[in-house]
Amino acid sequence: MSSSSNSTSTKGRWTHKKARSSTRGKLGELSEKEWNLLEPFDVLDLKDKDGNLESFHVSDTIAIVSSKDVSKLQLYDYWIGKIKGIRGESESSRAWVMVNWYYSPRDVKAQIPVFEPSPSARYERIYSHHCDIVSATHIAGKVSVFQLLEDNADQHPIPANSFFSRYYFDIKGGPKNFAVMQFTYHDPATSISTIHSAINIMRCDLCAGPYNPEAFDPDEIQRWCPAPECRRGFHHRCLDAADKKSEPFPSVTDLILARIANNDDTQSTDDGPPARLTHENLHCIPAQLLTLAAQPLVRGERFGVAGNIAMIAHARRTIHSALSDQSLPTCKTPYSFRSNHVDLNLDLWYKDPAFNGWEGAIIEELDPHRGEDRMRLLRCPQCTRAI
Ligand SMILES: [Zn+2]
Ligand SMILES: [Zn+2]
């Protein structure tokens, strides 16, 4: 254990025991004035009961013990914070960390009654600049909090039973001066710092409710529209109820063409006219890739918090990009390795690491060779494209 600072950028390490119990009242036991008098450290080493060391640094996300009996805690019961600073006291062998809290949605509601958290939220956390100084004895270990950007077609998968965060919570002057804002991939509509008493989050246009990532109900699944002017989702139940069934059911091939044409095209480097998949060139594409690219983009329930969106969006781009490299081909016979008379370099499409586990993203068995079967088409309420 080292307890003194030196002149290099590494100010030293602090070694301590990991938390095995906690009393909430003691979490904020240090005032900011007392904190400022302590010695700063770059690294905090904590030992578990078996003597194994885990090192903590500024910016690490940590689980903080929230009850007297750790053995009864589930992962989602821990308090979560992001380390902003590490300080200690050489004489007493004590150390503290300053953390920004990740609030649970229920804790945000306790402060902002008009905020409606998802009823089944367990792993969702809402980031805040609210700081506390926490004794190192309350730290249980490091955890990951994945960021969910609801408007990002390339959102990375979020493993099951993992913490994730899509909102930012700012409370400046009590319940009348607050903001709940959403982290977005594309430019946010408003700056967080100028908003007061506002809940500014992405919602389903049809019911004004947000996406509920941890619901177990298939009706709560979000269907997502990748069109650049949309990049947003709608509850399956809302689309289902709004569907007037006024248009005839399209054939499988029409549905495939309509879905694949709805594409987030920001990644396109093609300077020419947009590549188009048509009845004439449909069979130049391997059937399984067509089936994959024509899947609805969904999130939630068994498809996971981030859903199949990144993989399906990548499949659509793969097809558009292959077509844009060629003068548009015509393939009258179904695609096969031997008879494919236009080489679009798609034979080994499934070797692309982005398609690992692609079978798991299939929701509808859309066989392009059964073109005359009739299918139900749901349209985006905003842009009317197939989703
Ligand atoms: Zn809805
Ligand atoms: Zn749309």
Residue pLDDT, tens place only, 26-57: 455 688 889 999 999 999 999 888 888 999 99
Q: How far, in Å, is the centroid of ligand 2 from the Cα of 379?
A: 8
Beta strands in 172-293 (DSSP E): 178-182, 198-200, 222-225, 232-235
User: Could you tell me which residues come within 8 angstroms of residue 169 by beta carbon, excluding any fewer than 6 positions away?
Assistant: 103, 108, 126, 127, 128, 130, 178, 179, 180
Same domain as 241, residue 118: no
- Asked if the structure places residue 366 within a domain, the reply is no
How many other C-beta atoms can be found within 10 angstroms of the C-beta atom of residue 125? 27
The sheet with strand 13-17 has its strands ordered as: 13-17, 43-47, 53-57
- Please give the share of the chain, as a percent, with pLDDT higher than 70: 80
* Total count of domains within the chain: 2
Is 245 a domain residue?
yes
- Asked, for residue 381, whether it belongs to a domain, the answer is no
The mean pLDDT of the chain is 83
Q: Is residue 304 part of a domain?
A: yes
Say how far apart CA 142 and CA 64 lie, in whole Å: 9
- Distance in Å, CA 206 to ligand 1 centroid: 5
CATH number of the domain where residue 135 is located: 2.30.30.490
Of 147, 164, 187, the last residue of a domain is: 147
Give the separation between CA 184 and CA 149, rounded to whole angstroms.
Answer: 5
Alpha helices in the chain (DSSP H): 32-36, 105-111, 236-242, 252-261, 287-293, 309-324
Q: Are residues 116 and 240 in the same domain?
A: no
**How many A from CA of 205 to the centre of ligand 1?**
6
pLDDT at site 18: 54
> Three-state SS for 36?
helix
Residue 234 burial (C-beta neighbours within 10 Å; 0-12, 13-18, 19+): buried
Q: What mean pLDDT do residues 68-96 have?
A: 89
First-to-last C-alpha distance (Å) of the chain = 58
Out of 119-128, 341-350, 371-380, least confident range: 341-350
Per-residue confidence at 329, pLDDT binned at 50, 70, 90?
A: low
Average pLDDT over residues 149-171: 93
Among the candidates 147, 169, 194, a domain finishes at: 147
* pLDDT computed for residue 2 by the predictor: 35
**Any domain includes 129:** yes
- CB atoms within 5 A of ion ligand 2 belong to 225, 227, 230, 380, 382-383
For residue 300, the ligand closest to its alpha carbon is: 1
Would residue 162 count as lying in a domain?
no
Interval between CA 246 and ligand 1 midpoint (Å): 20
Token match 């509601």: residue? 109
Between strands 163-171 and 178-182, the pairing is: antiparallel
Which among 358, 377, 346, 361 has a CA at the least distance from the CA of 252? Answer: 377
Least confident of 181-185, 205-209, 340-344: 340-344
Predicted TM-score (pTM) of the model is 0.85
Closest listed ligand to the CA of 386: 2
In a domain, 383, yes or no: no
Secondary structure (3-state) at 242: helix
205 C-alpha to center of ligand 2: Å?
Answer: 11
169 within some domain: no
Are residues 230 and 139 part of one domain? no
pLDDT of 337 higher than 60: no
Say how far apart CA 202 and CA 189 lie, in whole Å: 11
Q: Using CA atoms, how far apart are residues 281 and 260, in angstroms rounded to an integer?
A: 13
Give yes or no for residue 190 having a pLDDT over 50: no
- Per the structure, the complete domain to which residue 77 belongs is given by 13-147
Cα four-point dihedral sign 170, 173, 174, 177: negative
Shared-domain flag, residues 115 and 233 = no
Dist. CA 204 → ligand 2 center (Å): 12
Final residue before a domain boundary, out of 103, 123, 147: 147
Q: Are residues 112 and 237 in the same domain?
A: no
Q: Measured between alpha carbons, how far is residue 269 from residues 103, 263, 297, 305, 353 in Å?
A: 41, 14, 23, 30, 21
Do 223 and 357 lie in one domain? The reply is yes
Question: Is 273:285 a contact under the CB 8 Å cutoff?
Answer: no
Instruction: Give the span between the Cα atoms of 218 and 245, in whole angstroms.
Output: 21
**Which residues, including other chains, have CB under 8 Å from residue 8's CB and lie 6 or more apart?**
none
CA–CA gap between residue 282 and residue 275 (Å, rounded): 12
Q: Tokens for 377, please give them.
A: 């088409």
As a whole number of angstroms, the distance between CA 35 and CA 15 comes to: 18
